[in-house]
Amino acid sequence: MDFVNNPSEKRIFLVSLQKAFYGFFDGKQVINLYKLKSNKEKQETNIIFLDEFDFLENDLLTQICKDTAIEQPFSFIEYFYTVLTKYKLPREHFLANHPKIRAELKKITSEVRTISQKYNLPFPKINHFLCNEPKLKGTSIFQTRYSISNFPIFLNHNKENHKKKKINAFYLEIANEQNKPNAYVLLNVVNQTTSAIIRLFKDLEFEHPKIYQDLVEHCFRTSDKLKRILKQIRQQPFSRMAVGTNESKMYYDGFGLYEVCDLGYDTDREEVELKYYSLFTTPESILLHLAENNLVFGLSATAEINRYVKNFDLDWLKNELGELYYEISDDDTSLIPKSQ
């Protein structure tokens, strides 16, 4: 691509928002909004002009919502965790030449292990959900920094059948004084772990494509569906960080929604599925990432009109960028009619 290989002559590269989100091949690798960064070593700065800036937030949010989703994160994590902890990570030769990648895999699996060790919830050893509470079927759990639902939920994994044999499943029950709500711990870890796995694989896909292919095959060999979904996902969750407000938490990390779905099986009327819908990123976090790594201009003929819906939260972006946020001065404005 001349824009990359011959920048002194090819100074401008035009690309649609859709193509920038889903990615384009620059002659060497696939680039998207998450990968656009200035080359600090060569002291080269990307200058990005975002045309029709007022409409980009809504368009970008539409692309995020249309992105491929992992609707069954419990099975996704079970595949990943079981293969790595049982067959790969116990062997010191696995990824011996890539200690950082190995360390990240150990970190993710360790966080999953805390669910059973710290909270006595044997996941992913148990990955089957049952419910005989009519009020819980169809209910939703909204997650950002906190979990919000109509009813507090207790996961009971000690229920026994008529022969006093423990049932290998989580029963969803309405929590009470004796059985405190504990479902949110599991849902939160599953949400964060799914995000961490996707982030790792997307980084590997860009930086170490052969290791990416090998790990996908290791972890999801028996599931063509999960392999296809992982390849098609375009959202790239950013690394989690400590933030001061709930608003910032949602802008940085997006949010998740679990729904207790009655599967309607005649053979097993108790079986339910915790369906999962998530936005791992937001338009604001993508724009923040672009502005931190490039020089970005927002272009709009209606820029001075305050809009409170279908627009970026510029006050939040200004606060996050600090001195990297440049406001248009009166002198800048006066130059516009002179240039005509």
| 228-271 pLDDT tens trace | 999 888 888 877 766 767 778 888 888 889 999 999 999 999 99
> How deeply is 279 buried, as exposed, middle or buried, from its count of CB atoms within 10 A (0-12, 13-18, 19+)?
buried
User: Do residues 278 and 300 both lie within one domain?
Assistant: no
Report the alpha-carbon distance of residue 226 to residue 222 in Å, rounded. 9
Query: Total domain count for the chain?
Result: 2
For helices 73-83 and 224-232, give the axis angle rounded to 10 degrees: 110
The pLDDT, as a whole number, for residue 308 is 65
Q: What's the pTM value of the predicted model, to 2 decimals?
A: 0.85
The pLDDT, as a whole number, for residue 335 is 78
Place of tokens 């975002």: 50
Residues linked to residue 129 through DSSP beta bridges, in sequence order: 170, 272
User: Do residues 11 and 50 both lie within one domain?
Assistant: yes
| 259-268 pLDDT tens trace | 999 999 999 9
> How deeply is 59 buried, as exposed, middle or buried, from its count of CB atoms within 10 A (0-12, 13-18, 19+)?
middle
Average pLDDT over residues 272-292: 90
For helices 183-207 and 209-220, give the axis angle rounded to 10 degrees: 140
Nearest to 333 by CA among 295, 297, 304: 304
User: Do residues 261 and 329 both lie within one domain?
Assistant: no
| 43-59 pLDDT tens trace | 777 888 888 888 888 88
User: Do residues 249 and 212 both lie within one domain?
Assistant: yes
Place of tokens 């080359």: 39
Beta-strand pair 147-149/153-156: unpaired
Counting Cα atoms < 13 Å in the Cβ hemisphere of 276 gives 23
Domain span at residue 53? 2-66+285-338
The pLDDT, as a whole number, for residue 332 is 77
Q: Is 66 helix (H, G, I), strand (E, B) or coil?
A: helix
Q: Is 198 helix (H, G, I), strand (E, B) or coil?
A: helix
User: Do residues 131 and 199 both lie within one domain?
Assistant: yes
User: Do residues 181 and 272 both lie within one domain?
Assistant: yes
